[in-house]
Amino acid sequence: MTTAREDRFVENEKLFRTANEGLRERVEGIVEPDQSIPFLCECIDETCIARIDLTPQEYEIVRSDNQWFVIAPGHPRLDGERIAEEEDRFLIVTKKDVG
């Protein structure tokens, strides 16, 4: 069972994901496959303004699983989240029951 605080954190992650999806749609077909795009960190910190430079291909990997979120290294995670992928510039974290 999740707490109200955890629910709020999950909603925050979803908000950042939605913003990133909008950015991806806007630049699709405009940027080169190896060009980096500044996506938002999808960590649970509602005051986070970190940017993570990802290529379109890297972002597609993140979105290939609906339970994955991309965060900057060292950024906070919820209990129960685990690191699915780790790169120098970003982490992909996963959790259950996220839509």
pLDDT of res. 96: 62
pLDDT per position as a tens digit, 81-90: 889 999 999 9
Say if 99 falls within a structural domain: no
Distance CA 10, CA 24 (A): 21
Closest-CA residue to 3 (of 94, 90, 79): 79
**Which range, 3-12, 51-60, 88-97, is most confident?**
51-60
pLDDT tens per residue, range 27-45: 877 888 788 999 999 888 8
User: How confident is the model at residue 9, as a pLDDT?
Assistant: 67
* Range 57-85 average pLDDT: 88
> Quick check: is 43 in a domain?
yes
CB 86 within 8 A of CB 72: no
Q: By residue range, what is the domain housing residue 71?
A: 4-94
Residue with tokens 């993140």: 62
Decide if 54 is inside a domain: yes
Question: Which residues, at least 6 apart from 27, have a Cβ–Cβ distance to it below 8 Å?
Answer: 37, 56
What total of structural domains would you count in the chain?
A: 1
Residues 13-30, mean pLDDT to the nearest whole number: 80
The span from the CA of 2 to the CA of 50, in Å, is: 26
